[in-house]
Amino acid sequence: MRIFFGSRITATISLLAIFVNFIVFCNNGNNNKKVIAEDPAANSQDQYAGSESCKNCHKDIYQQYSTTAHFHTSATLAKGSHVLDGQQMVPFNHSTVVKVLQEDSLYYQALYVNGKQQIKQKLDISIGAGNTGKTYLSWRENHLVQLPLFYFAPTQQWVNSPGYGDKVVFNRLITPRCLECHASNVEFSQDITRGNIEFKPASLKVGINCEKCHGAAKQHIEFHETHPNDTTGGFTADVSHFTRIQKLDMCAICHGGSMNAIKPPFTFKAGDKLSNHYSYNTVATDVAALDVHGNQYGLLSMSECFNKSEMTCGSCHSAHNNERGQKALFSQRCMNCHTKADANFCTVQNVSQVLLVKNCIDCHMPEQPSKTIEFLEPLTNKTVSATMRSHLIKVYPGDSKKIMAYITKMSKK
């Protein structure tokens, strides 16, 4: 049985869309808010305009947003694109090496056994903005495979992909779920009986675009282009009026770790209930079972901060700005809720208040090694893991002690 997910039906309903436009231009009664039509056509792919088209009217947001990891989390490697520098060869044993080759402005990964080339595969798509690293995918007709070498940013070296130990694998098939978290859309078909997944390469939209959070915006643009004096907005997913759970779900679709699918990938839209698409535990029970990689939601939901307040991801994170590494700024956001006046401030002793207020983060959300982003260092066979910021906010006596010792040392200098 072959099932096609995507915008196959769009041609038949585009006529309908013209009709629907009529209806939605009449505001819905409640608060004069112009809402996206509840017709499937309104959410089919030809109702999406792409982030580029927001640039003219939302210049500042666009500029800010284009510096984020979301924006850069996947990219197409066209001729001439630059792939990260670094060691260009990874030895696996005395006879086997995988090399990164550059030929005629294109990049390849190639397997050599006893000096003889066995496989050579082009780098077509990068996954990862590069905070921890990047992995590269290659088209084999309508299949997408992950290439063996992963670029690990902290040590600036090519290594075997996490999870592969010392095995060279050129045919790991990429699933739509991988792209649901790292890209904006792709059409695919799945032969359920054989588990064979085929993509439509031309339909892939790389990066996480504005409409992933704001909903299909073609109507919004058409409206503002024809009503230049209207400053009230509308025809977007009404993010700022979402309930707490809607706000959390729109992030948890990609930050909730592994979940069991109920519906196919790419059917979730901002504002939808995540539990209609994936089954997951809102209250996780076992911290040890959750990895710090990719499951910020699971860890946060076990924190007292989260359970005793109306906290959302937006309590600390800006949706449009790249604030990575700005610990003092994040600490300010802790102090929106934790103040001396409210008598719920930090109770740690013997730490300079000046330093304390600049970094709540390293003591209460320490970086921890990920169990899934873990690989063997070439030849030494030493296990190396990426570190991730834990979203389980609490007192970590060990980490606090280390930091206090560091602060004491620095203040004596």
In terms of DSSP bridges, do strands 2-5 and 260-261 run parallel, antiparallel, or are they unpaired?
A: unpaired
- Alpha carbons 366 and 351: distance in angstroms, whole number: 17
The answer to whether residue 287 forms part of the interface with ligand HEC (CB under 6 A) is no
Please, are residues 256 and 280 in contact by the beta-carbon 8 Å criterion? yes
Site for ligand HEC in 229-248 (CB under 6 A): 231, 233-234, 236, 239-240
Considering beta carbons, is residue 15 or 289 the nearer one to ligand HEC?
289
Stretch that binds ligand HEC, among 2-10, 37-45, 52-60, 94-102 (CB under 6 A): 52-60
Residue 121 bridge partners (DSSP)? 109
In terms of DSSP bridges, do strands 157-160 and 74-76 run parallel, antiparallel, or are they unpaired?
A: unpaired
Element (H, E) at 62: helix 59-65
Question: Which residue, 46, 44, 64, 47, is CA-closest to 55?
Answer: 64
- Alpha carbons 323 and 235: distance in angstroms, whole number: 29
Length of the chain: 413
The answer to whether residue 277 forms part of the interface with ligand HEC (CB under 6 A) is no
Residue span 162-181 as binding mask against ligand HEC, x where in contact by CB under 6 A, dash where not: ------------x--xx--x
Question: Which residue, 71, 92, 93, 84, is CA-closest to 150?
Answer: 84
Selected from 95, 117, 309, 408, the binder of ligand HEC by CB under 6 A is 309
Please, are residues 142 and 198 in contact by the beta-carbon 8 Å criterion? yes
Query: Could you tell me how many residues of this chain bind ligand HEC (CB under 6 A)?
Result: 101
The answer to whether residue 284 forms part of the interface with ligand HEC (CB under 6 A) is no
Closest approach, Cβ 113 to ligand HEC, in A, equals 26
The answer to whether residue 265 forms part of the interface with ligand HEC (CB under 6 A) is no
Number of CB atoms found within 10 A of residue 192's CB:
10
Site for ligand HEC in 183-222 (CB under 6 A): 208, 210-214, 217, 220-221
Considering beta carbons, is residue 93 or 203 the nearer one to ligand HEC?
203
Selected from 10, 87, 322, 385, the binder of ligand HEC by CB under 6 A is 322
Stretch that binds ligand HEC, among 9-17, 95-103, 105-113, 128-136 (CB under 6 A): 128-136
Closest approach, Cβ 114 to ligand HEC, in A, equals 30
